[in-house]
Amino acid sequence: MSRIGVFICHCGENISRTVDVERVALEVGKMPGVAFSTDYKYMCSDPGQNLLKKAIQEQKLTHVVVAACSPRMHEKTFRKAVEAAGLNPYLCEMANIREHCSWVHENKEEATAKAIEIVGMMVERVKKNRSLPAITVPVTKRALIIGGGIAGIQAALDIADCGHEVILVEREPSIGGHMAQLSETFPTLDCSQCIMTPKMVDVANHPKIKLYTHSEIELVEGYIGNFQVTIKKKARSVDEDKCTGCGVCMTKCPQKKIPNKFDQNIGMRTAIYVPFPQAVPNTPVIDRENCTMFKTGKCGVCQKVCGPGAVDFEQQDQLIVEAVGAIVVATGFDLYTINEKPKGSAIKGYGEFGHGKIPDVIDGMTFERLASASGPTGGKILRPSDGKEPKQIVFIQCIGSRAREKGISYCSKVCCMYTAKHTMLYHHKVHDGQAYVFFMDARTPGKSYDEFWRRSIEEEEAVYIRGMVSRLYQKGDKIVVMGSDIAVGVQVEIEADMVVLATAVMPQKGADTLAQKLGISYDKYHFYSEAHAKLRPVECATAGIYLAGACQGPKDIPETVSQASAAAAKVMTLFSKDQLEREPIVARVREAGCVGCFACKKVCAYGAVEEKEIRDRQGNLIKVVAYVNPGVCGGCGTCQATCPSKSVELDGYTDEQIVAMIEAL
């Protein structure tokens, strides 16, 4: 006979405003099996949890239902409390009467009736709950970091400095990411290269970090503590062990006019190249699409001039399998390309701003390359069209961002600050030039940020115009910018030499495909979702996978670095134990009923189902049945729904429990 305790939370007023909690407690108290029923202001608080523990002991409760918020919020909290009181944690269930009831209904009568039913359903379910023993699995103390930008680098260094092995995978030929492209960084105007490249070198020299550049994630299998990751190492056509990085191949390559992606396509590179001089590793890669040797079969100059004989045209893509215990995803961002609509995207383009058509309309990242001392112009601000110095420059903020009708409703967060920085860099380099900024709002929260923004106006004489631009067009060698100044209420027309658009920060292309490989969730823009917006900001809902940097949402460098260190700390927490306790929600086979058809094995996405032979005492084979490896089982329950003889059951979600819930309705 079960003695169920039901605890109804007011959640301050969040629940009690629309649900008559006293009545729920009273009605539920009459349900068969319920021995104790009460309500309390904040069940999750310390006194609330103590009330729960005390009731379990005094009332000799066997099962507990807490009717409060979503189990996604506090299930762990209450299961821990129940465990502390001496019950198995899986004898506690939560009834969600906040997110699924009080917050979504206004009529008190209806909401109360619904709450009673929800609690009743969980009372019937909990009766069928069984004690589940914890399952422990070993932890592989190696971490995989996906993405070698500042986020990935910081996380890799933090984890490696703690003595754990790290595998860093980067898609591009060099690590460094977007930060390596920046000229100077707000709010201190540090040169980005100066603070970034030493970290890149640290990564390359760290004995605990294994670096795979020009590589991508092919396949991820396994689970927290025990992932198997297949990495595709794309053919570099240059042997990394032999190459000394002398660069002779690049000086001799006859293909010299290939737009360099690192320089936002305004600088040129050769077919055998390193994206930028400070690249790590400093090993060139052959761009096979543009290489004469690969296109025509004739050339091979680089191979001839290479002293150590490192150039290898025959090199193939390699697949490498690595075992890791934790994964940090740090794939970063991409900029909104306003002249083309991303394929299959709901986002509309911005053709009216002429980006991609008018050569002197550039985006913020291109301006960074122009301003960078190591950029294609050597740090001079010059127009891409004719190489002249622009004397009037217009910056337009919020291109793509905060424009719901264009498909992006979020704020890209960094544009206000980097535009302010751009006006300063421009004024430092073109003393007689004038910068104008069209803006909707200036958002400058952050240490020393507002002061920095003010400085761009007060000291660097940037003219800020509140309002949006309606149209841009080429007139001779000028670009006419038509907009409105809503503060004064007049139309503004500026004849500019160059226009810089602060385009929206978006997730990397292919972010959704990677998420599907990892089994993590993402939002409608394909930014990865954290497990909890406030309390678990660097963890994915999928255990063992952590997030760092702009792949989770637009972020500036200080935030990205903090998040990367936070993710590293989470990985280290996981690595601090040799054995990991996992949720015992796994499938179990009832061997007596199993006929060995292995339909379960076919549907199991984890490969958790094994064949087990049952023999008698003489060793004769009686039958072959399915066996679910509890370490590998993901706990989805597809096998149970598939099993024709109903011989496999998912602990925590048994047919009995579910039918009990349906019958309670």
The binder of another protein chosen from 23, 41, 80, 105 (CB under 8 A): 105
How many other β-carbons are positioned within 10 Å of the β-carbon of residue 14?
A: 17
Backbone angles phi, psi at 303, to 5 degrees: -65, -40
Is there binding between residue 31 and another protein (CB under 8 A)? no
Is there binding between residue 663 and another protein (CB under 8 A)? yes
Question: Measuring CA to CA, which residue among 235, 230, 244, 197 is closest to residue 213?
Answer: 235
SS3 268: strand
Is there binding between residue 653 and another protein (CB under 8 A)? yes
Cα–Cα distance, 64 to 43 (Å, whole number): 13
Is there binding between residue 96 and another protein (CB under 8 A)? yes
Element (H, E) at 398: strand 392-399
Closer to another protein by Cβ: residue 84 or 113: 113
Question: Measuring CA to CA, which residue among 61, 67, 69, 62 is closest to residue 7?
Answer: 67
DSSP state of 504: P
Is there binding between residue 232 and another protein (CB under 8 A)? no
The binder of another protein chosen from 22, 83, 117, 161 (CB under 8 A): 117
Question: Measuring CA to CA, which residue among 637, 623, 638 is closest to residue 593?
Answer: 623
**Pairing assessment for the beta strands 505-507 and 392-399 based on DSSP bridges:** unpaired
Question: Measuring CA to CA, which residue among 390, 391, 389, 398 is closest to residue 416?
Answer: 398
Closer to another protein by Cβ: residue 280 or 326: 326
Token pair belonging to 212: 């795979």
Q: Please report, as a single letter, which amino acid is at residue 16.
A: S
Is there binding between residue 645 and another protein (CB under 8 A)? no
Closer to another protein by Cβ: residue 456 or 552: 552
Is there binding between residue 313 and another protein (CB under 8 A)? no
Is there binding between residue 113 and another protein (CB under 8 A)? yes
Cα–Cα distance, 212 to 231 (Å, whole number): 9
Cα–Cα distance, 272 to 211 (Å, whole number): 21
Give the range of 106-114, 335-343, 446-454, 609-617 binding another protein by CB under 8 A: 106-114
Is there binding between residue 71 and another protein (CB under 8 A)? yes
Cα–Cα distance, 85 to 91 (Å, whole number): 12
Token pair belonging to 252: 């001799």
Closer to another protein by Cβ: residue 113 or 440: 113
CB of 329 to another protein, least distance (A): 15
What sign does the CA torsion over 382, 388, 389, 390 have? Answer: negative
Looking at residues 503 to 562 of the shown chain, list those that interact with another protein (rule: CB under 8 A): 515-516, 519, 521-524, 529, 541-542
Looking at residues 576 to 595 of the shown chain, list those that interact with another protein (rule: CB under 8 A): 585
DSSP 303-347: HHH-TT--B-TT---EEEEEEESEEEE---EEE--TTSPPTT-S-
CB of 649 to another protein, least distance (A): 11
Cα–Cα distance, 234 to 171 (Å, whole number): 9
CB of 534 to another protein, least distance (A): 11
Closer to another protein by Cβ: residue 502 or 550: 550
Question: In the chain, what's the furthest Cα-to-Cα distance?
Answer: 98
Token pair belonging to 514: 């990677």
CB of 464 to another protein, least distance (A): 34
Cα–Cα distance, 463 to 494 (Å, whole number): 12
Is there binding between residue 107 and another protein (CB under 8 A)? yes
Give the range of 265-273, 366-374, 619-627, 634-642 binding another protein by CB under 8 A: 634-642
Is there binding between residue 626 and another protein (CB under 8 A)? no
Q: At a CB cut-off of 8 Å and minimum separation 6, what does 126 contact?
A: 2, 4, 63, 64, 65, 91, 92, 93
How many other β-carbons are positioned within 10 Å of the β-carbon of residue 303?
A: 18
Question: Measuring CA to CA, which residue among 163, 157, 262 is closest to residue 211?
Answer: 157
Cα–Cα distance, 256 to 275 (Å, whole number): 13
Is there binding between residue 493 and another protein (CB under 8 A)? no
How many other β-carbons are positioned within 10 Å of the β-carbon of residue 348?
A: 14
Is there binding between residue 456 and another protein (CB under 8 A)? no
What are the CB-based long-range contacts (under 8 Å, 24+) for 609-615? 609/639
DSSP state of 390: P
Closer to another protein by Cβ: residue 58 or 110: 110
CB of 636 to another protein, least distance (A): 3
The binder of another protein chosen from 390, 640, 647, 648 (CB under 8 A): 640
SS3 388: coil
Is there binding between residue 101 and another protein (CB under 8 A)? yes
CB of 523 to another protein, least distance (A): 4
Is there binding between residue 135 and another protein (CB under 8 A)? no
Closer to another protein by Cβ: residue 291 or 538: 538
SS3 440: coil
Give the range of 317-325, 372-380, 500-508, 631-639 binding another protein by CB under 8 A: 631-639
What sign does the CA torsion over 44, 48, 50, 56 have? Answer: negative
The binder of another protein chosen from 70, 244, 345, 491 (CB under 8 A): 70
Closer to another protein by Cβ: residue 98 or 178: 98
Closer to another protein by Cβ: residue 114 or 141: 114
Give the range of 151-159, 238-246, 394-402, 600-608 binding another protein by CB under 8 A: 600-608
Is there binding between residue 475 and another protein (CB under 8 A)? no
Question: Which neighbouring-strand residues pair with 396?
Answer: 438, 501
Cα–Cα distance, 565 to 572 (Å, whole number): 10
Give the range of 233-241, 392-400, 492-500, 648-656 binding another protein by CB under 8 A: 648-656
Closer to another protein by Cβ: residue 207 or 344: 344
SS3 247: coil
Is there binding between residue 106 and another protein (CB under 8 A)? yes
Q: Provide the residue count of the chain.
A: 665
Is there binding between residue 121 and another protein (CB under 8 A)? yes
Is there binding between residue 605 and another protein (CB under 8 A)? yes
Give the range of 108-116, 170-178, 390-398, 469-477 binding another protein by CB under 8 A: 108-116
Looking at residues 278 to 297 of the shown chain, list those that interact with another protein (rule: CB under 8 A): none
Closer to another protein by Cβ: residue 292 or 508: 508
The binder of another protein chosen from 64, 67, 85, 111 (CB under 8 A): 111
Is there binding between residue 345 and another protein (CB under 8 A)? no
Is there binding between residue 328 and another protein (CB under 8 A)? no
CB of 638 to another protein, least distance (A): 3
Q: Which residues bind another protein (CB under 8 A)?
A: 70-72, 96, 98-101, 103-107, 110-111, 113-114, 117-118, 121, 515-516, 519, 521-524, 529, 541-542, 585, 603, 605-606, 634-638, 640-642, 650, 653, 655, 658-659, 661-663, 665
